[in-house]
Amino acid sequence: MPGITREEVAHLARLARLELKPEELDHFAGQLDDIIGAVARVSEVADRDVPPTSHPLPLTNVMRADEVRPSLTPEQALSGAPAQEQQRFKVPQILGEE
């Protein structure tokens, strides 16, 4: 596998609008080469009988089912509010929008 060149690192840096020193180009070229090599090794390990996964453990929904239960009426909920309007809490405007 050909290594990442200084020119490729410089091109990526320009795309990302990063200004790199010449010694940084060499340093990052080596690091990017190592990263690409590690990803290639992982690809070699994955076999066709191993399904792709997004998480190593099976995930299950931990949410309970929605059930209608008694709760406060709008009047009870707003009873301690310092200001209310149209059965809603009224708060000071903060964004200057209507």
Give pLDDT, residue 1: 46
The CATH number given to whatever domain includes residue 18 is: 1.10.20
Write the single-letter amino acid at 6: R
Write the single-letter amino acid at 56: P
Mean per-residue pLDDT of the chain = 86
Query: Based on the structure, what is the number of domains in the chain?
Result: 1
The contacts of residue 88 (CB under 8 Å, 6+ apart) are 78
Whole-model pTM: value is 0.44
Cα–Cα distance, 68 to 18 (Å, whole number): 55
pLDDT surpassing 90 at residue 16: yes
Q: Is residue 75 part of a domain?
A: no
Give the domain extent around 40.
6-45
Tell me the average pLDDT across 67-94.
Answer: 92
Output DSSP code: residue 5.
Answer: P
Q: Is residue 27 part of a domain?
A: yes
Tell me the average pLDDT across 3-25.
Answer: 93
Q: Is residue 81 part of a domain?
A: no
